[in-house]
Chains A and B, each alone.
Chain A
Amino acid sequence: MKPARFEYIPPTTLEAAVAALAAANGEGKILAGGQSLLPLLNFRMARPAVLVDLNGMKELSFIELRGENVAIGALTRHREIEHSPLIASRLPVMSAAIRHVAHLAIRNRGTIGGSLSHADPAAELPMMAMFYGASLTVQGPAGRRTIAAKDFFVDALTNCLEPEDIVVEIEFPILQHDGWAFEEVARRFGDFALASIAVSIRRGQFGVGEARVAVMGVADTPLRLEHVEQRLCEIAVDGRTPDRFAEMVTSSVSPNSDVHASAEYRKHLLGELAKRAMQTVLAVKG
């Protein structure tokens, strides 16, 4: 289980990195934390001719408040997000979600840019990008552009980038909420999720005024359930709301079966998590 031969380039500027990728003619790959890429290389499921290592570019590693947004550099490690007071206070759902990402050793190396680009359908950060409606700044041969999270995730393990594009930073809009919850079930501590849901609400004059709902592990990409958000604002809030919410959520997904979980079981889990999440959200006084 050894990778096929590749050329290793450690550029020190973004321009040089983009140029190196462009020169590789579609045969180049970015190396960030390596936690997803290296296993793929070792299995020879990925066999890039050129590996462009971003790790020398410390300027890609930051977490900062930028107006109504929190901006995070692509090379920021999971561990830094986990321990950031700024994230804890401004993006509390993300702060809760990041604790479910893998194990300490992996969080020390894995990066947000790598996690989003890898686009695992059961990964927490892509789900958070959907939940918060994040936008990704991408540098390519023609300069910088911005891509909305909902356009970024195309399919399981597939994003919308061109081979010479590099995710540079991600902006997460700060959400106002009166209550939020993040729920996840993984088979073992640190495993990829079997199902997960994130919910937040603002109370309105009658019941829910605004809602956010995102799920993962139950489709080829993480999903934001906008029609469920809308329905939530239309129904009365009472003791039956968690159950009704669970029903709304499960009826809007159709997961696949695999060795870890059948489609029915995943759906069941998602429903249980949705119920639990809504109970938590509503218990919080606005």
Chain B
Amino acid sequence: MSKDSLAQPADVLRPRHVGAPIKRTEDPRLLTGNGEYTADRKPDRPLHIAFRRSEQPHARIVRIDTAAAQTAPGVVAVLTAEDVADDFKPVIPFSRMANYYATPTLPLASGKVRYVGEAIVAVIATSRYLAEDAVELIEIEFEPLGAVSRSETAVAVDAPLLHEEAGTNVLIAREFRKGDVEADLKGAAVRVGGRFEMTRKAPLAMEPRSYTAEYDARRGAITLYTSSNIPGIVRDAISESLGLPGSRLRVVAPDVGGSFGSKGSLYPEELLICIAARKLGRSLKWTADRLEDVSSSSQAFAEIVDAEMGFDANGIAIALQADVLGDVGAYSIYPWTCGLEPVQVVSFLPGPYKIRSYRGAVRGVATCKPPTGPYRGVGRPISTFVTERLMDLGAKALGLDPIEIRRRNLVRAGEFPYRIASGIIWDKTGFVECLDAAGEAAGYEKLRVRQAEARKDGRLFGIGIASYAELTGIGSRIAVAPGMPINTGSETAKISIDSTGAITAAFGVASHGQGLETTLAQIIADDLGASFEDIRVIQGDSDAVPMSTGTYASRSAVLGGGAAKRASALLRDKIKRVASYLLEANHDDIELSGGKATVIGTDRAVTFRQVAKAVYSDMKTLPAEAREELSASYTYDPINGTTAAATHIVAVEVDPATCFVKIHKYVVAEDCGQIINPMIVDGQVHGGVAQGIGAALFEELVYDEDAQLLSASLVDYMIPSAPDIPDMDVVHIESQSAVAGGFRGMGEGGTIGAPAAIANAIADALSPYDIDVNLLPMNPQRIFGLIEQAKLKAKENPK
């Protein structure tokens, strides 16, 4: 008996949508300029906001004179913190973490400013031009309080305090411990370590942050259109802060032009625009210009890690310790807190490895910079950078190949679920499989031969590897941010069929470029037996979708996808019940496919449209009790969530003349479980790696000693451009995860693996000079400096 004849005939014949490279249904509208972004909203006679922002890094606000601005042409209102003091309650990024100080989120700086770019005054006028003209007329007297520009100086005893009430600039401190690290390090055959740093980075979405508050005078209601990936959280926070019930506060995230984390927190401007709309009874618009976006949206990384790893003589990593100093900026961001990024660094440092003992300590310190917040990969780009550098240093010290040392230390197939030394539990994932597949796809042995030849010619050719694992789609057992009271563990899908047979699937998970409209519809098409074209996915509108915390932390395919599957199953049953009446057949003999209910093995069928008609528009065909609304909703909680993993292999060459890094080859082998849409998965990997290349080679927010931003425009803040991104080979290890559908989250991995892999490749390329790569981005000027230093050293101590 062949295997196929065992399967249900329907399973064999039915075209599967999950797994198919279906073109994104959102693209035609986005690519033809027919998308609707927040700034495209055209409310009735809107007013425009321009902000007077601080040019001071840290100063007391002594006096604000807005008299001239108030009478400037077109100006309707000028608001300071004092003017709106009674209009809201501060929003507190609460957490149960010990040693954490929650700074309140306020709409405008009150009493003092804490970073250059912080909004102090809002000018509201009939056009943005006039508003900006009036901003220039505002006079503010400051009393400077001393800039705190670096985390190392922020922790000094005599450092000026950003939040006096906290009594310290250390806003969060934590330590993880397992086993006896000191003893294990002492007993180690080889110890490697160093001080590693990833500088500050901007998430830099193509669409800057944008808000439109539409005021409905009839109901005293506000609709906030926001370029947010967490519209549900924004709605609840503003509702609470302004005392406006959800019935009078609708929040909509329409088309959103990317986020990468920068639109994943509540912002002062979001609060202010709602406060002002209510105060003035008018609709308001604000879109950040690029300068505002770079200098006031949440930023990423900014951590220094002192780390050490011990290996036994067989190359088994036995102990790891790390002290992380995170420069979290001026405020703790809502709702994630300032612990989000630095605490995750210590959580993920042991990576996919079976390290026996661990000590990871972290401090997040306030500096005069915009707050850090979520950024694609959160914590893991730097934890992976550090751990993978240590692995390579260990391999070098032990004379092992970098692939071999990883193979000896990775959690293997039989060992899952595995709890690593920081406490994170990895579920069954193809760690070793990714490593092997990447090595094979890269032609690793041949690459090493090519490297040896290049070296003979004096060329600086290097190969870098990075393996990592991440938690994705986490459920209610783990908080996305430590100690945070928000429910990040479940998501709801509500699927209904209307009287025309059209299917609407409402999801709380928002989309800001991931293609969820397509992938969620693919899942529903299969599980409901619907025709793909009949399904409309709606997201991001608090009036139309179930409550949700949004899209972040690689959760939406897992949580939204799981909810879609379960809700589809419920609705499927309802359709079958009606169809069994209409077809006079047994419920179990009916199968749904392509928008039709068919009696198995016959040509007797009814379309979903006929089913809908019978339910909604016809009194005769069905008895009243069978005319159930064709709608189902399900709230899915994956409890622990799942793991995703990958290995990146990259070959680079450093040009000794220009010190530029050229990427010759880039391979990713990743395990994202059951693939929903391979084109979208590849796109996410490509985009993530491109951002990782930015982090590794280009992007840096440079703040000087006075905490002034020196790279605030795209001339000075360098992102990679198309010629800087190589072709990539992506290999998929589709090992089914334990959650519904077997999916794993995969939108962040590219950014996690690339910086580490490239750092290792550069270090390998520069090994003739014996250079350590422990700071990113490794831009040409830094490589030049390192080579010069190495040459000098060689001259001083000739071998």
Contact = CB atoms under 8 A, between A and B. Distances in A.
Interface stretch (A142-150, A182-190, A221-229): A182-190
Interface in A1-57: 1-5, 43-44
A44 B721 CA distance: 28
A133 B724 CA distance: 36
Contacts of B698: 187
B132 A2 contact: yes
Contact of B133 (A5, A192, A259, A265): A5
Contact of B659 (A1, A259, A265): A265
Interface residues of A, number: 23
B721 A272 contact: no
A188 B721 contact: yes
Contacts of A155: none
A189 B723 contact: yes
Given A264-B788, A265-B784, A276 B133 contact: no
Contact of A262 (B132, B720, B785): B785
Contacts of B588: none
A10 to B, nearest CB: 20
Nearest to A185: B658
A272 B659 CA distance: 11
Given A5-B133, A269-B658, A264 B784 contact: yes
Interface string A252-285: 0000000111101100110010001000000000
Given A264-B788, A265-B781, A188 B291 contact: no
A259 B702 contact: yes
B716 interface: yes
Nearest to A268: B784
Contacts of B788: 264
A272 B657 contact: yes
A260 B657 contact: no
B662 interface: no
A185 B132 CA distance: 38
Interface string A219-245: 000000000000000000000000000
Interface in A169-213: 185, 187-190, 192
A261 B721 contact: no
Interface size class of B (residues with CB under 8 A): 20 to 34
B290 interface: yes
A259 B710 contact: yes
Contacts of B780: 187, 261, 265
Contacts of A261: 780-781
Contact of A276 (B291, B657, B710, B781): B657
A1 B723 contact: no
Contacts of A44: 132, 136
B718 interface: yes
B289 interface: yes
A188 B723 contact: yes
Interface string B676-716: 00000000000000000000001000100000001100011
A116 to B, nearest CB: 20
Contacts of B723: 188-189
Contacts of A43: 291
B129 interface: yes
Interface string B757-799: 0000000000000000000000011001100100000000000
B128 interface: yes
A44 B136 CA distance: 10
A64 to B, nearest CB: 35
Contacts of B292: 1
- Of residues B291, B720, B781, B785, which shows the largest number of chain A Cβ atoms within 10 Å of its Cβ? B781
A1 B781 contact: no
Contacts of A268: 784
Contact of B716 (A1, A5, A259, A264): A259
A43 B136 CA distance: 12
Contacts of B289: 1
Contacts of A3: 129
A269 B659 CA distance: 9
Contacts of B721: 188-190
A1 B711 contact: no
Nearest to B787: A268
Nearest to A189: B723
Interface string B716-744: 10101101100000000000000000000
Contact of A4 (B133, B291, B660, B711): B133
Contacts of B290: 1
A192 B715 CA distance: 9
A259 B785 contact: no
A17 to B, nearest CB: 26
A260 B716 contact: yes
Nearest to B659: A265
A187 B133 contact: no
Interface in A107-128: none
B128 A2 contact: yes
B724 A188 contact: yes
A47 to B, nearest CB: 10
Contacts of B784: 262, 264-265, 268
A274 to B, nearest CB: 11
A285 B133 CA distance: 62
A163 B266 CA distance: 48
Contacts of A5: 129, 133
Given A1-B290, A2-B129, A265-B780, A187 B785 contact: no
A261 B136 CA distance: 33
B293 to A, nearest CB: 10
A272 B655 CA distance: 11
A276 B657 CA distance: 10
A26 B230 CA distance: 51
Contacts of B785: 262, 264-265
Nearest to B721: A188
Nearest to A266: B781
Contact of B291 (A1, A192, A259): A1
B543 to A, nearest CB: 33
A101 to B, nearest CB: 15
A5 B117 CA distance: 24
Contacts of A269: 657-658
Given A1-B290, A188-B718, A189-B723, A262 B781 contact: yes
Contacts of A185: 658, 660
A8 B128 CA distance: 19
Point out which of B720, B721, B785 has the most chain A C-beta atoms below 10 A from its C-beta.
B721
Contacts of B718: 187-188, 260
Contacts of B132: 1-2, 44
B720 A188 contact: yes
Interface in A73-126: none
A246 B442 CA distance: 40
A185 B290 CA distance: 27
Nearest to A42: B289
Q: Which of B290, B291, B711, B784 has the most CB of A within 10 A?
A: B784
A265 B781 CA distance: 6
B684 to A, nearest CB: 24
A259 B132 CA distance: 29
A188 B662 CA distance: 12
Nearest to B128: A2
A269 to B, nearest CB: 6
9 contacts: A1-B292, A2-B132, A4-B133, A187-B698, A188-B718, A188-B720, A188-B721, A259-B711, A261-B780
Given A4-B133, A5-B129, A187-B698, 14 more contacts: A3-B129, A4-B136, A44-B136, A185-B660, A188-B721, A188-B723, A188-B724, A189-B723, A260-B716, A260-B718, A260-B781, A261-B781, A262-B781, A272-B658
Interface of B: 128-129, 132-133, 136, 289-292, 657-660, 698, 702, 710-711, 715-716, 718, 720-721, 723-724, 780-781, 784-785, 788
Interface of A: 1-5, 43-44, 185, 187-190, 192, 259-262, 264-265, 268-269, 272, 276
In the complex, the 10 A-B pairs of residues with the closest C-beta atoms, listed nearest first: A1-B289, A272-B657, A2-B129, A265-B784, A265-B781, A189-B723, A2-B132, A188-B721, A259-B710, A259-B702
